[in-house]
């Protein structure tokens, strides 16, 4: 590892939670405007995490607190790897591990809502991870390499050869942001019948760390989505912003789906489109 790579990795470690918190703030502000509400300030997520950090509450179980920290480490590690230009597939598997730790930690809780949310979290992993994996394989095929710098060094936008990935990537963004219609395992909205799902038994500092891990996860997903138009840093930011805005619009115009409908209809449809795009690339 050279000095430049080290600096990029450190920048990824520091900036990922900050950018994730800003994304969460933009989420709240835009959602409030779409619903004709005043809404909270942009930095409200940081205030919430600070307030949670000030509350020292014993976790429901020792294992639950341990899995929260593992989830945070995995989430931040995926951002560090991506910032350092590492293999994007490695980033994919590390962020998947983070989501798995969250689900396992929820299983350690005592509330039935927590266990139900954990089951649905695993269903969502089963639904979106194959789609995300095929999308990365498509990007690697077009760019000629699996490292992040190859994705960003493409001579033309990847979108021109990967149009069928858009529904699948948007599906992944909706799941990672926990937005309707895929807010199945956890949601901050009143319509969630499992209360807060995987978050039910978390409180205080553990909950704050879990929020930071979620921010880091969202940054990784939006960053990989931005590779679809990576001709410049500005174009990547705009692309990520468009995916975020599309997810917020869909969240405000749709109702929740059941996990059965997601597994039987939505996930297979997105996977078929992504796989068709991959086959088309190999047949060129």
Mean pLDDT (whole number) for 101-130: 87
| Global confidence as pTM | 0.91
Burial 232-269, CB ≥16 within 10 A → b, else e: eeeebeebbeebbeebbebbeeeebbebeebeeebbee
Per-residue confidence (pLDDT) for residue 109, from 0 to 100: 79
pLDDT of 59 higher than 80:
no
Label residue 51 by pLDDT band (50, 70, 90): very high
Q: CB neighbours of 33 closer than 8 A, spacing ≥ 6?
A: 39
Calculate ∠ Cα 181-51-248, nearest 5°.
20
| pLDDT value of residue 192 | 53
- Rounded mean pLDDT of the chain? 88
**What's residue 1's pLDDT?**
59
Is residue 259's pLDDT more than 80? no
Of 119, 125, 117, 254, which is closest to residue 196 (Cα–Cα)? 117
Quote the tokens at residue 151.
Answer: 């994705």
* Structure confidence at residue 6 (pLDDT): 82
Confidence tier at 244 by pLDDT (50, 70, 90): very high
Q: Domain residues of the chain, as ranges? A: 3-283
pLDDT at 252 over 90: no
Mean of pLDDT values over 199-216: 88
**Per-residue model confidence as pLDDT tens digits over 146-181:** 888 888 887 789 999 999 999 999 999 999 988 888
């Amino acid at each position: 590892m050279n000095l430049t790579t080290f600096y990029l990795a450190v920048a990824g470690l520091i900036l990922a939670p900050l950018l994730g918190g800003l994304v969460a703030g933009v989420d709240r502000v835009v959602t409030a405007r779409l619903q004709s509400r005043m809404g909270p300030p942009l930095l409200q997520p940081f205030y919430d995490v600070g307030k949670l950090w000030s509350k020292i509450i014993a976790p429901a179980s020792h294992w639950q607190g341990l899995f929260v920290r593992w989830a945070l480490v995995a989430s931040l590690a995926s951002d560090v790897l991506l910032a350092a230009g590492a293999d994007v597939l490695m980033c994919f598997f590390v962020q998947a591990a983070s989501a798995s730790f969250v689900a396992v930690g929820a299983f350690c809780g005592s509330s039935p809502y927590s266990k139900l949310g954990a089951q649905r979290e695993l269903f969502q992993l089963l639904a979106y991870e194959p789609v995300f994996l095929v999308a990365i394989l498509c990007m690697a095929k077009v760019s000629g390499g699996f490292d992040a710098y190859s994705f960003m060094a493409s001579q033309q936008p990847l979108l021109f050869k990967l149009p069928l990935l858009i529904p699948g990537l948007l599906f992944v963004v909706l799941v990672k942001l926990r937005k309707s219609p895929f807010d199945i395992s956890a949601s901050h909205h009143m319509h969630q019948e499992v209360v807060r799902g995987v978050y039910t038994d978390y409180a205080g500092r553990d909950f704050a760390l879990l929020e930071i891990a979620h921010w880091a996860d969202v940054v990784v997903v939006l960053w990989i989505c931005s590779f679809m138009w990576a001709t410049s840093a500005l174009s990547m930011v705009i692309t990520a912003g468009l995916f975020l805005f599309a997810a917020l619009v869909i969240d405000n115009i749709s109702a929740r789906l059941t996990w059965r409908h997601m597994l039987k209809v939505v996930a297979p449809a997105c996977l078929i489109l992504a796989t068709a795009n991959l086959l088309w690339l190999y047949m060129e």
